[in-house]
Amino acid sequence: SVGKCESDLQQDYVALRTLTTPSQDFRRKMDSCSSVSTEMMLLLKRRYADVDKEFDAIAVKDSLLQLLQREDAKSMYG
């Protein structure tokens, strides 16, 4: 799952930090990973909550487009 992978990555990152100070670029990438993972989990939880409702492609598209409106979206999503 996304949450498990992100948790494993965070544990490895903490272990790395005990050995050395990661570069600024690496820290930025870890911050982006955490942010994207949190957003993905939130979107998945919303989808699961609506599983018994009729699928609304427009609403799903709108929720995904909201992610791209964030100030840091360009640096995270390209």
Domain that holds residue 20: 2-77
- Residue appearing with tokens 């939880």: 45
Under a CB-based contact definition with an 8 Å cutoff, are residues 75 and 32 in contact?
yes
Which region, left, alpha or beta, applies to residue 53 given φ > 0 means left and ψ of -120 to 50 means alpha? beta
Cα separation of 77 and 21, whole Å? 26
pLDDT at 72: 73
Vertex 71: Cα angle to 28 and 1 (nearest 5): 55
Please list the ranges in the chain whose pLDDT falls under 50: none
Question: What is the count of structural domains for the chain?
Answer: 1
What pLDDT, on a 0 to 100 scale, did the predictor assign at position 78?
65
- pLDDT value, residue 18: 93
The confidence score (pLDDT) of residue 23 equals 93
Look up the pTM and report it. 0.66
pLDDT at 20: 93
